[in-house]
Structure 1
Amino acid sequence: MQPPQCVLDHAATRRQHPGTMIRSSLAFAFAALTTTAIAGENFLVYFGTNTNAKNGSKGVYVARFNSASGELTQPKLAAEAGNPGFLAVHPSKKFLYACGDVTSADGKKAGGISAFGIDKATGKLALINQAATAGAGPCHVSVDKTGKLATIANYGGGSIGSFAIKEDGSVSPEVSFFQHEGSGADPKRQAGPHAHSVNFSPDNRFAFACDLGLDKVLIYKTDPATGRLTPNDPPFAKTPPGGGPRHLAFHPSGKFVFVNNEMGMSETVFAYDAEKGALTEIETVSTLPEADRGKKGFSTAETVVHPNGRVVYVSNRTHDTIAVFACDPATGKLTPLQHVSAEGEVPRNICLDPTGKWLIAAHQNSGTAALFKVDQDSGKLTFTGSKVNVPGSICVRFLALD
């Protein structure tokens, strides 16, 4: 089963190599039928935040969630940290990683990655260590499926870096660093590179870095043994000019990739060649209701794919809505189903729980997070009326306890 990127339990059951496609298809079908049974019912939910005096956030927060009842508790502080915006949970469920403020080896403040140990009984986090990145403005962190490699995307510096993860969960100093170069079609937003995220392929052989400033998804080969990345051939895929690719999600079948374009208010669908690590554009569709298309001032934030592969969700950050698309598992093409209120201002991140029955939207400006019920037939969302307080909430991550 390959749940959404925001879910911890992403068992790598579908390696897209010759001779394994039948097994891949069977695994996909089995996952669609048994998602709930595999995932369990009890979870910790971690929230990454932007910390400042105005919003009152102090770091990473944690709540408890039960997927049978839909009960989400009020979050409590799990660890004090500076701007731990995006989070990633280690496959072992023992460690959590945050990008944000760190103290460098020479004692100076910098941006980078923090490693925490997880106390499952309380949800509390204990700092293990930190490592600085050579780039400015880290905005996204990911951990590969082996749990041996972590990546950072630096929005301000337009670069990415990688770190080796040790057995005790600590991170090494940055072992590889890539400065992106170039510009995009919009002279105001795309005068230079702005790396926004890094995500790993289902078979863990490749890493894909969305760069908003370049209108490209840059592609790297992974080496979990050393924690290093190396440029791939082909080195990148293009997105529509002026679109500003931000985040990326794989289809459970491994055949398609979905990229939300922050500036263009659109979603680009790619066909994925797992052998070459190559992306080929299939289509680009608007994430806005027809009446609002062409209007200025909106931006997208996050893309997630339902475990059944039939629905794709995109948060329209400044439109304060969530776009819901039906996905054709055979072609990857998207059809609009619904635009639902996010129930808060600036839905910076949305995340499906591992059962696929619920979705949480984190509202950066409202300092809240809202719980939605997912219709298991249509994929449409219904607000449950449940909303919790999370100051400066930016990111949501589930950790299964069962």
Structure 2
Amino acid sequence: MKLKTNLLLIAFLATFAAFSQNTYVFLGSYNRDKAAESIVVYELDTLNGKLTKITSAKNLINPSFLTVSPNGKYLYACTDSKTPNAGSVSSFEFNPENKTLTFLNKQSSGGENPVYASVHKSGKWLVNGNYTEGSVSVHPLLENGKIDSIAQNFQYTDGSVHRERQTCSHVHSTVFSPQYDYLFLPDLGADKIRCYQFDATLKQPLIEATVPFTKTAPESGPRHFTFHPNQKFGYCIEEMSGSISAYDYENGTLKKIQRISTHPDSVTEGFESSDIHISPDGKFLYATNRGKENNIAIFSIDDRGILTKIGYQSTLGKHPRIFAIDETGKFLIASNVITGNVIVFKRNLKTGLLKKAGKKVKLENVSCVKIKKT
């Protein structure tokens, strides 16, 4: 009888712990009006997809890209993006109980127009990529969530073949490997995916890798990168070519296994491919197309890592820059910059297809969405 009671208690506590966690949606924007909300936090109802606003932040210029610390306590933003002779990264403390988002500090991003940032799994390092100047910066993170001054900064000068868009390097994302021992930097301007070893125990954690870069196709414009949950495959979306390149991955090395278009065969120019993510179960890959299409391309993934296109879903807005999938895999949330709206889609876990859920929310020039359960 005692054993049965203990088992029931354990089950109750596990259920309570699961339901005591809440899922939050963080939205960033290209909002140049300091008096207006530029970061907004919503709570996601994981039953019906409804978004409920809980807090926001003002007095910021263009918090264009966001990332959340592993423990969910801190939010980091690329700020002063698309601002001449400027660029910064900013930190905030998020308190879901008090429903507050408190500005902590900001530091120089080490280059003009920061567009992407990632936090190491230790919570002790922030890495950001600067698009316009083509550089990567590494910042220590303090125990109170604040960002310390730059520990490392690498500037690149090489470009590629396009006479207007590839005159120099344009680092577009900073992505840790599954074990967080390597850092990958898709460089749109140089048609390269750069790579460094990352040793979180060092004061300067970026170390030259054995294979310092993977060359992509000319005029491909590699933009964002993601790893498969099984840690064996990597996928890079190429903005300029409108393609996805799939790779076998092992110990910092990428070996191409496939290249596939994100567009229908009828679309032959004007590509503006943007973001890429994989469902938590590893069965489906999603990629956004901006420009004329404004949709999400949906692919299945087989055991070899090969993609097969299975459909498209309109983002119900214009210019879908960033989207995110929640930890359960039930919802995908897309942000449309030009129309300033955010759409929640419910995922069919069997087919991978999407269906609108809940009501859209508005945020002028919304550019980024991140989801975190805390």
TM-score by length of 2: 0.90
Contact in 2 for aligned 1:148/1:164 (Cα 8 Å):
yes
* Correspondence for 2:264 among 266, 289, 299: 289
Report how far residue 76 of structure 1 moved.
4.9
Number of paired residues?
A: 354
Q: What is the DSSP-based 3-state SS (H/G/I as helix, E as strand, rest coil) of the residue aligned with 1:73?
A: strand
Contact in 1 for aligned 2:38/2:56 (Cα 8 Å):
yes
> Relative to structure 2, which stretch is displaced further, 67-76 or 87-96?
67-76
Report how far residue 40 of structure 1 moved.
7.7
Contact in 2 for aligned 1:75/1:390 (Cα 8 Å):
no
Superposition pairs for residues 283-362 of structure 1, below 5 Å? 283-292=258-267, 294=268, 296-318=269-291, 319-328=293-302, 330-362=303-335
Superposition pairs for residues 57-72 of structure 1, below 5 Å? 57-72=36-51
Deviations 1:326-357 (A, max 9, x none): 011x2111000111111000001111011101
The unaligned stretches of length 5 or more in structure 1 are 1-36, 103-107
Contact in 2 for aligned 1:139/1:152 (Cα 8 Å):
yes
> Relative to structure 2, which stretch is displaced further, 150-159 or 75-84?
75-84
CA distance, structure 2, for counterparts of residue 314 and residue 75 of structure 1? 29
User: In the alignment, what sits opposite 2:127?
Assistant: 151
CA distance, structure 2, for counterparts of residue 79 and residue 60 of structure 1? 7
User: In the alignment, what sits opposite 2:26?
Assistant: 46
Contact in 1 for aligned 2:50/2:358 (Cα 8 Å):
no
CA distance, structure 2, for counterparts of residue 58 and residue 72 of structure 1? 17
Report how far residue 267 of structure 1 moved.
0.6
Contact in 2 for aligned 1:79/1:125 (Cα 8 Å):
no
Superposition pairs for residues 1-400 of structure 1, below 5 Å? 42-53=22-33, 57-74=36-53, 76-101=55-80, 110-225=86-201, 226=203, 228-274=205-251, 277-292=252-267, 294=268, 296-318=269-291, 319-328=293-302, 330-384=303-357, 386-400=359-373
Deviations 1:213-264 (A, max 9, x none): 0111100111223353122110011122101000010000000001100011
CA distance, structure 2, for counterparts of residue 46 and residue 159 of structure 1? 26
Q: What is the DSSP-based 3-state SS (H/G/I as helix, E as strand, rest coil) of the residue aligned with 1:246?
A: strand
Decide whether aligned partners of structure 1 residues 84 and 132 sit closer, same or farther in structure 2, where only a CA change above 3 A counts: same
Decide whether aligned partners of structure 1 residues 231 and 256 sit closer, same or farther in structure 2, where only a CA change above 3 A counts: same
The unaligned stretches of length 5 or more in structure 2 are 1-16
Deviations 1:270-321 (A, max 9, x none): 11012xx0111111100001222x1x22301100000111100000022200
Contact in 1 for aligned 2:35/2:58 (Cα 8 Å):
no
**1:198 alignment partner AA:** T
Report how far residue 109 of structure 1 moved.
7.9
**1:230 alignment partner AA:** I
Contact in 2 for aligned 1:141/1:198 (Cα 8 Å):
yes
Q: What is the DSSP-based 3-state SS (H/G/I as helix, E as strand, rest coil) of the residue aligned with 1:349?
A: strand
Q: What is the DSSP-based 3-state SS (H/G/I as helix, E as strand, rest coil) of the residue aligned with 1:221?
A: strand
> Relative to structure 2, which stretch is displaced further, 225-234 or 194-203?
225-234
Report how far residue 172 of structure 1 moved.
1.2
User: In the alignment, what sits opposite 2:10?
Assistant: none
User: In the alignment, what sits opposite 1:33?
Assistant: none
- Kindly report the root-mean-square deviation, in angstroms, between the aligned alpha carbons of the 2 structures: 2.1
User: In the alignment, what sits opposite 1:14?
Assistant: none
* Aligned-residue identity in percent: 33
Larger Rg: 2
Decide whether aligned partners of structure 1 residues 387 and 215 sit closer, same or farther in structure 2, where only a CA change above 3 A counts: same
